[in-house]
Amino acid sequence: MVAAHHKKILSKVGPVTGAERTLADLGTGEKGIVVGIGLADDTLKRRLNAFGIIRGTEIVLDRTAPMGNPRTYTLLGYRLSLRNEDARNILMRVE
Amino acid sequence: MTSCKRPVTAMLVGNPNCGKTVLFNCLTGDHGTVANYSRVTVTPRTYPLKHSGAALHIVDLPGIYTLNGCLPEERAGRDALHFGHPEVVINVLDAGNLHRSLFLTIQLVETGRPCVFVLNMIDEARSHGIEINTAALSAALGGPVIETVAVDGVGVPALSTAITELSHRSESWRAPIILYDDDLEAAIARIQAIIAELHPATLDAGQSRWLAIKLLEGDSEFLERESEHRALIDEVRTACHALEVHHGEDCASMIAHARFRFIKALVGDVQSVTSTPTARSRLTRRLDDLLLHRFLGLPILAGLMWLMFQATFTLGALPMAWIDTAMHWLTDQVAALIPPSLIHDLVVNGIMAGVGGTIVFLPNIVILFFFMSILSETGYLARAAFLLDRLMNSFGLHGKALIPLIMGFGCNATAVMATRTIESQRSRLIAILAAPYVSCSARLPVFILFAGAFFGDWAGTVVFALYATSVAVALGSAILFDRLVVAGKDEPFLMELPPYRRPSPGSICHHVWDSAEDFLRKVGGVIIVGSIAIWFLQQYPTMPATTPVAQRLEQSYLGQIAATVTPVFAPLGFGWKDSIAILTGLLSKEVVVSSYAVLNATDKDSGNLREALSGGMTPPVAISFMVFVLLYAPCLSTVAVIRREAGGWRWAGVSFGVSLVIAWSLAFITAMVGGFLV
From chain A, pick out residues whose CB is under 8 angstroms from the CB of B393. 69, 83
DSSP string, B191-212: HHHHHHHHSTTTS-HHHHHHHH
CB contact under 8 A, A56 and B66: no
Of B256, B298, B492, the CB nearest to A66: B298
Pick from B95-109, B629-643, B650-664: least confident: B629-643
**A46: contact with B, CB 8 A cutoff:** yes
Shortest distance between the Cα of B538 and any Cα of chain A, in A, equals 55
Q: Which residue of B has its CA nearest to A14?
A: B248
Kindly provide the ipTM of the predicted complex, given to two decimals.
0.83
Residue B126 in this model has a pLDDT that exceeds 70: yes
Residue B349 in this model has a pLDDT that exceeds 80: no
**B493: contact with A, CB 8 A cutoff:** yes
Of A43, A66, A80, the CB nearest to B387: A66
More confident residue, B276 or A50: A50
Is residue B296 exposed (0-12), middle (13-18) or buried (19+ Cβ within 10 Å)?
A: middle
Is residue B505 exposed (0-12), middle (13-18) or buried (19+ Cβ within 10 Å)?
A: exposed
pLDDT in tens, A39-51: 767 778 888 888 9
Shortest distance between the Cα of A3 and any Cα of chain B, in A, equals 22
Average predicted confidence (pLDDT) for chain B: 82
Q: Which residue of A has its CA nearest to B245?
A: A14
pLDDT number for residue B581: 86
Q: How far apart are CA B653 and CA B485, in angstroms?
A: 14
Contact criterion met (CB below 8 Å) for B147 and B95: yes
In A1-95, where does DSSP find H-type helix?
2-13, 42-50, 84-87
Percent composition of chain B: helix, strand, coil (DSSP 3-state, to 5): 70, 5, 25
- The end-to-end CA distance of chain B, in Å, is 81
Q: How far apart are CA B453 and CA B456, in angstroms?
A: 7
CB contact under 8 A, B260 and A54: yes
CB contact under 8 A, A78 and B496: yes
CB contact under 8 A, B293 and A66: yes
DSSP state of B541: S
Instruction: Give the β-pairing of B494-496 and B130-132.
Output: unpaired
CB contact under 8 A, B298 and A69: no
From chain A, pick out residues whose CB is under 8 angstroms from the CB of B492. 44, 47, 82-83, 85-86
Residue type (1 letter), B265: A
Residue B627: its H or E element: helix B619-631
Shortest distance between the Cα of A76 and any Cα of chain B, in A, equals 6
Residues B473-488 have a mean pLDDT of 81
Q: What percent of chain B is predicted at pLDDT more than 70?
A: 90
In B380-502, where does DSSP find H-type helix?
380-394, 402-407, 412-418, 425-434, 444-455, 459-484
Q: How far apart are CA B58 and CA B44, in angstroms?
A: 10
Query: Hey, of A16, A63, A80, which one would you mutate to test binding to chain B, going by the most B CBs within 10 A of its CB?
Result: A63
Residue type (1 letter), B66: T
**B285: contact with A, CB 8 A cutoff:** no
pTM of the model: 0.77
Residues B56-72 have a mean pLDDT of 79
pLDDT in tens, B556-610: 888 888 888 889 998 998 888 888 888 888 877 888 888 787 777 655 444 467 7
Of B399, B397, B404, nearest to B418 (Cα)?
A: B404
